[in-house]
Amino acid sequence: MRKRYLNPTQLRSMKVRQHWGKCWKEYPERMELNRLQATHAANQSRVDKLNRQIEHIRSWPETMSSSEYSNLLSEAVRDSKKVDLKPDSLRRKFERHKLITYDFQNGVWINHARLNQPSSHENKIQQSQ
């Protein structure tokens, strides 16, 4: 039977896995502390990003037609540093956080960030800080 050799990527992956396994066995307290700090930093980064987006949409009007809202989303995506961000993704995010909702009776989008009505997510952010 022919011997199977590992390619460099597989070897590197195996060495990295062994290294971290060894670290977790020898220094579990330090690794757990590092994991908690990294988790907190990632969460804080996510919260800061959402707060920046909230501040940005506070400059939008209180009510908008669908075409105005679509144009504002397109501008926000264009101004964003993320290349793969799409207007629909941003729209769903704002709706999920209850920052902007659609009023079916009047046919307009309502900007709750502008109306100074903190969303449920903003309340959670303030409580965690």
**pLDDT (0 to 100) of residue 4:** 81
Segment 4-47, tens digit of pLDDT: 888 999 999 999 999 999 999 999 999 999 999 999 999 999 99
Q: What is the mean pLDDT of the chain?
A: 86
Better-scored residue on pLDDT, 86 or 38: 38
Question: How do the domains of the chain map onto residue ranges?
Answer: 8-128
HEC states along the chain? CCCCCCCHHHHHHHHHHHHHHHHHHHCHHHHHHHHHHHHHHHHHHHHHHHHHHHHHHCCCCCEECHHHHHHHHHHHHHHCCCCCCCHHHHHHHHHHCCCEEEECCCCEEEECCCCCCCCHHHHHHHHHC
Lowest mean pLDDT among 27-31, 63-67, 80-84: 80-84
Q: Model's pTM, two decimal places?
A: 0.65
